[in-house]
Amino acid sequence: MSTDIQEIIDRALSLPPADKALVVDKLLSSLDQPDEAIDALWRKEVEDRIRAYNDGSLKSVSLEEVLAKYHS
């Protein structure tokens, strides 16, 4: 590890927790590159689910039913 990188790490570790979280968020965001193919698949999935809900072919379940299933 280079001296510059170690200096950055040392300085980041000395930051208050909120500032550390901001640095982490910015670094992770810089690694997260959008994938248009995956975005398109999710967009289609959402549209299909909305269409199915609106035309009645998708059964909805209330929050109470879901919670009851896991609390029994």
pLDDT at 72 over 80: no
Q: Where are the domains of the chain?
A: 1-33, 34-72
What's the pLDDT at 32?
83
pTM: 0.48
Structure confidence by residue, pLDDT tens digits, 12-67 = 999 999 999 999 999 999 998 889 999 999 999 999 999 999 999 998 999 999 99
For residue 52, give every residue at least 6 positions away whose Cβ sits within 8 Å of its Cβ, in sequence order, or none. 58
